[in-house]
């Protein structure tokens, strides 16, 4: 694995487990340290992977001690993302909150392909499907 992409690959594996129902909201995730050991990576890389999932609205974290999988809404849109697209999560701006009907503090996902303007999605409303 390319080191700077390791966190993304771990996030993809965990996302697949959450979306397939193998990991559910009924149980908390193991600690970051335990997960880092399971995926044979560092704590900082595991934190970045969990940051991605938190930004997508799939998990919540309470003070680093407890990470829970969120119950998924049933009306999530699936967005096809080509391999190589730039994807990042961040808090929504006021304009984005207004345009997308999001509450203060909600996250968005930016998907940029090539040099075009990124598409912005409400993180809790979409599931990304990365094409390989």
Q: What is the pLDDT of residues 24-53, one digit of tens each?
A: 887 788 888 999 999 999 999 999 999 888
Please report where in the chains the tokens 């990991």 appear, as a residue: 23
CATH of domain 3-69: 1.10.10.10
pTM: predicted TM-score of the whole model, two decimal places: 0.61
Burial call 7-31: b when 16+ CB within 10 Å, e when fewer: bbebbbebbeebbeeebeeeeebee
CA distance 75 to 61: 23
For residues 76, 63, 102, 26, the Cα torsion angle rounded to the nearest 10 degrees is 30
Q: What is the pLDDT of residues 68-112, one digit of tens each?
A: 888 776 777 888 888 888 888 888 999 999 999 888 888 898 999
Range(s) for CATH 1.10.10.10 in the chain?
3-69
């Amino acid at each position: 694995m390319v080191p700077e992409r390791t966190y993304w690959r771990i996030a993809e594996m965990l996302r697949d487990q959450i979306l397939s129902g193998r990991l559910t909201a009924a149980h908390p995730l193991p600690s970051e340290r335990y997960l880092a050991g399971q995926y044979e990576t560092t704590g900082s890389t595991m934190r970045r992977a969990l940051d991605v999932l938190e930004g997508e609205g799939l998990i919540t974290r309470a003070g680093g001690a407890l990470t829970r999988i969120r119950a998924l809404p049933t009306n999530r849109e699936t967005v096809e993302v080509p391999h190589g697209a730039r994807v990042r999560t961040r808090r929504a701006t006021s304009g984005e909150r207004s345009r997308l009907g999001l509450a203060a503090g909600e996250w968005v996902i930016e998907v940029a392909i090539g040099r075009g303007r990124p598409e912005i999605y409400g993180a809790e409303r979409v599931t990304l499907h990365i094409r390989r």
